[in-house]
Structure 1
Amino acid sequence: MTQSTEESRGAPAPGGFAAEIKDAVTARAALLVLGVLALQLAFAVSYLGAFHDPRPSGIRLAVAAPSAPAAEETARQLDGLEGDPLDAHAVSGEAAALREVRTREADGALIVRPGGGPDRLLVASGAGASLSQALEQVVGLAEESRGRTLQVVDAVPADAGDARGLSSFYLVVGWCVGGYLCAAALAVSAGARPANTARAAVRLGALLVYAAVAGLLGAVVAGPVLGALPGGTAALWGLGTMVVFAVGAITLALQGLAGVVGIGLAILLVVVVGNPSAGGAYAYALLPPFWQAVGPALPPGAGTYAARSLAYFDGHGTAGPLLVLAAWAVGGAAVTLACAAFRRGRPGAPVGSGLPEERVAA
């Protein structure tokens, strides 16, 4: 490189300060900055919208009483509370009520005692302290209005090392971060869009290996190392592998569709929308309708619910969340391969994202 070339690079752009700005801030950079601003705003709106005013809605409550008519009448009264905080239903007895709590068919259970004895409320802090506390508050006020006293029993308590039952959520968040960062690293190193289906398959294979390692390390840290979650390490390892691969496959698919911008779209889906709706800090029943509806269908929510089920409920309730994760994993992989095949089949199609600074894909 000659000295004149070096000097020309450091010289002001012809045309004054406006031209200097235009030369320093490219159109692509300006668009990316606007995208970051939109993502930041979406982050604030999503988290504030989900958490600023938690209100119980549709908390599942099993009701047992000395007689079936009494149980049905109590359930009807609780189900009709203003604001619909509870979704109450009668069960055949105390054993049935406890079984529903331990299998996640109900979030809690009210055992109505005959005479003036205190009724018992069964909660499960292993499913999250926010849910058990909300249930205790709502049922406590209802019992007080009926002139009855209440005894609260934690039927499925969170472990001592699992503060407020949040360890499952934070573990899944870590797995999700690993998933989209691994996919992003593949894009940074070799172009957002793979050149052909063989290379797309290689990326998916590399992601699968990473997911298995990340899943194992997360399960070991949460279990044997920190004692944050009870349950088997193997089950959590399998779940972690699914979460990491599902999120990574989503990110690869979005990169295949939108290039580098796909990384931002993955963050929008998983972090901006998925994390506040995951049922971690606040259970589904405490979230506004939008977040309550989308949470179970996204990887953070599905992973959090499954992790709590594995840790505290002997795996009950994991079928749905695992199907959600499998759908994202298979769908993401399929779209990734399809995008690579489509681009390969287009005559003269460019390999990268179409952005001038991006490397040709490997």
Structure 2
Amino acid sequence: MAQQSDTPSTATGQGRRLAVIVVGLAAVVVAMLCAFALPSVHSGPHDLPTGVTGGQQSVAAVHKALQGNEWDVSVYDSEDDLKTAIQDRDVMGGIVLAPGQITAYTATAGGPQATAVLTSAATTIAKQQQADLTVTDLTPFPDDDPKGAGFSSAALPMIFGGMFPAVLLTRLFPGHSGLRLRLAGGIAFALVAGFAVTAFLQYVTGSLGGDYLITGLGMSLGMAALVMTLLGLESLIGMAGFGLGAAVIMLLGNPLSGFASGPHWLPDGWATLGQVLPPGASGSLLRANSFFDGTGADGPALVLAAWVLLGMALMFIADRRGAKGVRRSAEEPVVVG
């Protein structure tokens, strides 16, 4: 007997379902475009911390040249004070003014875009004052990777290095019985992968400096923040929770991380949001440990530790809930038919 064709009502229902799927996918594409394009369109110096020192008239001239929302200018008593402020990461760079001579101090490893725009501003000021210009980089990238390409490329491997293990561990050790194995596997992976990635970037490409142990621990903490958060969301909510976490990381965390440029290259609100998400905090921690002897590492380390604890708390709640379900099943009487 031949199968009957779909009724009009069934076809209408399928058409509506298809329309919802198409609109939903289009919305996702638009959301991705907004997340990646808008920060790029609005990128540039935003309240860039900059120091200046010199004579009163010269400093006033610099203030006039660096006015606007792009700059946040601080005046220092001496050249040494300014250099110390740059190395302590209080400012991204600075300008020293003397008769017939201007010196621009930069810290390229703190943000290459900031170095470029500060150098350009110093060049303009030197031309206006008909002075010689000297540019000194106090914290450059390593000689083996002077443009910081390896450092910038670490962002996506770190993000996917948190997502893929969460998926794999969920598939290999599913359900309540595998929850503790997923927890142990997530921590073990973060440690092994963190030190492996750091070793590659530091000893193979020469892109990182600093103490290997400290930098490796920071990298591991960043990966742990990602994988533990995703595992926690999946354990408590299911794959919908994992999908939500992955979307936030990819659509917000990645474009707002300021990984390559530093947070001062994004508008204030976006920059702040990016730094409280794991990718942005991971980049800031890696930058601090690799190039600034740990200066400025406390904030991002605390942010990442909070994400790790959040993921573990979600897994603990899921474990308690699962244990109660197991006990209820064991206590239910067995009905013999």
- Which category of TM-score, normalised to the shorter sequence, fits these structures? 0.7 to 0.9
Q: CA deviation at 1:72?
A: 6.3
CA separation in 2, counterparts of 1:216 and 1:30? 47
Q: Secondary structure at the match of 1:305?
A: helix
Tell whether the 8 Å contact from 2:45 to 2:265 is kept in structure 1 after alignment: yes
1:193-208 pair list within 5 angstroms: 194-195=175-176, 199-208=178-187
Correspondence 1:157 to 2:140: yes
Tell whether the 8 Å contact from 2:150 to 2:205 is kept in structure 1 after alignment: no
Correspondence 1:294 to 2:283: no
Tell whether the 8 Å contact from 1:127 to 1:308 is kept in structure 2 after alignment: yes
TM-score normalised over the length of structure 1: 0.79
CA separation in 2, counterparts of 1:312 and 1:56? 21
Aligned twin of 1:251: 230
Residues 307-344 of structure 1 deviation map (CA, whole Å, 9 limit, x = unaligned): 12222212211111111111111111112211332354
Q: Secondary structure at the match of 2:311?
A: helix
CA separation in 2, counterparts of 1:15 and 1:78? 73
Match of 1:231 among 177, 196, 210: 210
Q: Secondary structure at the match of 1:216?
A: helix
Residues 236-293 of structure 1 deviation map (CA, whole Å, 9 limit, x = unaligned): 2101210111101111122134311223222222221111111134332222333212
Q: CA deviation at 1:149?
A: 5.0
Q: CA deviation at 1:76?
A: 4.6
Tell whether the 8 Å contact from 2:148 to 2:207 is kept in structure 1 after alignment: no
TM-score normalised over the length of structure 2: 0.84
Tell whether the 8 Å contact from 1:101 to 1:109 is kept in structure 2 after alignment: yes
CA separation in 2, counterparts of 1:257 and 1:34? 29
Tell whether the 8 Å contact from 2:141 to 2:207 is kept in structure 1 after alignment: no
Tell whether the 8 Å contact from 1:71 to 1:91 is kept in structure 2 after alignment: no
Match of 2:309 among 317, 330, 334: 330
CA separation in 2, counterparts of 1:41 and 1:201? 38
Tell whether the 8 Å contact from 2:173 to 2:179 is kept in structure 1 after alignment: no
1:70-149 pair list within 5 angstroms: 73=60, 76-77=63-64, 81-82=67-68, 84-113=69-98, 115=99, 117-142=100-125, 144-145=127-128, 148=131
Give the % identical residues.
22
CA separation in 2, counterparts of 1:252 and 1:304? 21
Change (3 A) 1:131 1:166: farther
CA separation in 2, counterparts of 1:203 and 1:271? 22
CA separation in 2, counterparts of 1:71 and 1:345? 72
Which one is further off, 179-188 or 237-246? Answer: 179-188
Aligned twin of 1:169: 152
Q: CA deviation at 1:92?
A: 2.1
**Amino acid of the residue matched to residue 282 of structure 1?**
S
Tell whether the 8 Å contact from 1:187 to 1:260 is kept in structure 2 after alignment: no
CA separation in 1, counterparts of 2:212 and 2:32? 33
Q: CA deviation at 1:118?
A: 2.1
CA separation in 2, counterparts of 1:189 and 1:263? 15
Q: CA deviation at 1:143?
A: 5.1
Residues 75-117 of structure 1 deviation map (CA, whole Å, 9 limit, x = unaligned): 65456x13x211111112111111111221210011111x2x2
CA separation in 1, counterparts of 2:96 and 2:123? 13
Correspondence 1:44 to 2:21: no
CA separation in 1, counterparts of 2:180 and 2:191? 17
Which one is further off, 29-38 or 315-324? Answer: 29-38
How many pairs does the alignment contain? 329
Q: Secondary structure at the match of 2:147?
A: helix
Tell whether the 8 Å contact from 1:180 to 1:266 is kept in structure 2 after alignment: no
Aligned twin of 1:15: 6
Residues 190-211 of structure 1 deviation map (CA, whole Å, 9 limit, x = unaligned): 44xx426xx4333111111111
Q: Secondary structure at the match of 1:48?
A: helix
Change (3 A) 1:38 1:190: farther
**Amino acid of the residue matched to residue 47 of structure 1?**
F
Tell whether the 8 Å contact from 1:130 to 1:282 is kept in structure 2 after alignment: yes
Change (3 A) 1:143 1:58: farther
**Amino acid of the residue matched to residue 15 of structure 1?**
D
Tell whether the 8 Å contact from 1:55 to 1:287 is kept in structure 2 after alignment: yes
Q: Secondary structure at the match of 1:55?
A: coil
CA separation in 1, counterparts of 2:166 and 2:22? 21
Q: CA deviation at 1:63?
A: 1.3
